[in-house]
């Protein structure tokens, strides 16, 4: 399933007195898909509460010498499957320096999974195929997170979680002379893993 949205409406921004005409329309577009190549994608549905996070217009007066923190936005993610499935998630997007994803040319955004439950049971997250790695709820480029209970991947029919989106821009990214659109693109992907044997 793919969920695309219309591009945001561009806004005219008046010139700041004594300053540059600065109008950054910033938004982060999250496109939701499941793996079409996997048979399990036909039996599971992945959705998020909104596919676009719009940060609006940043004006000249909001510039600073350091990085600009655009704040935390929260999305609600759910996966519903007809049959019990191991819940493993990946976010595909252009990597930024560090562990985040690219937002514009210089900024970055991070995604953290919070309050996750599978069939009503609280779960933790771990990077798949990396035994011994510490528990983490951050979706990082190139990594798949798998839901676990007591260190073991858990299978279920329904996963619900909050996704916290944090975006930051360096001050250099705001030095523009006309309205500029910055965006971060990517998609959530439900990854099929083998269902663990019953204990």
Mean pLDDT for 29-53 is 64
Q: How far does the chain reach from its first CA to its final CA, in angstroms?
A: 33
Residue 33's pLDDT is 45
The tokens for 121 are 């049971």
The CATH number covering residue 161 comes to 2.60.40
Task: Answer whether residue 19 is part of any domain.
Answer: no
Give the total number of structural domains in the chain.
1
Domain for residue 123, yes or no? yes
Whether 9 contacts 34, CB under 8 Å:
no
Q: What is the pLDDT of residues 70-97, one digit of tens each?
A: 889 999 999 999 999 899 999 999 999 8
Q: How confident is the model at residue 42 (pLDDT cuts 50, 70, 90)?
A: low
Strands 124-127 and 121-122: unpaired
- CA dist 109 and 184 (Å) reads 8
8-state DSSP, 3: B
pLDDT-derived band at 119 (thresholds 50, 70, 90) equals very high
- pTM, entire model: 0.76
Average pLDDT, the chain: 75
Which residues constitute the domain of residue 93?
24-191
């Amino acid at each position: 399933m793919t969920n695309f949205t219309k591009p945001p409406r561009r806004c005219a921004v008046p010139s700041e007195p004594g300053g540059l005409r600065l109008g950054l329309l910033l938004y982060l577009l999250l496109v939701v898909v499941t793996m079409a190549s996997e048979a399990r994608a036909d039996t599971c549905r992945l959705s998020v509460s909104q596919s676009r996070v719009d940060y609006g217009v940043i004006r000249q007066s909001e510039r600073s010498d350091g990085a600009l923190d655009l704040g935390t936005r929260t999305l609600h993610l759910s996966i519903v499957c007809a049959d019990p499935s191991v819940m493993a998630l990946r976010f595909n997007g252009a990597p930024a320096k560090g562990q985040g994803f690219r937002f514009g040319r210089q900024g970055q955004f991070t995604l953290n999974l919070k309050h996750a439950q599978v069939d009503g049971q609280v779960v933790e997250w771990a990077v798949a195929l990396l035994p011994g790695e510490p528990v983490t709820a951050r979706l990082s480029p190139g990594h798949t997170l798998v839901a676990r209970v007591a260190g073991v991947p858990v299978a279920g029919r329904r996963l619900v979680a909050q996704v916290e989106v944090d975006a930051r821009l360096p001050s250099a990214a705001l030095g523009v002379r006309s309205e500029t659109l910055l965006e971060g693109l990517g998609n959530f992907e439900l990854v099929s893993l083998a269902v663990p044997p019953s204990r």
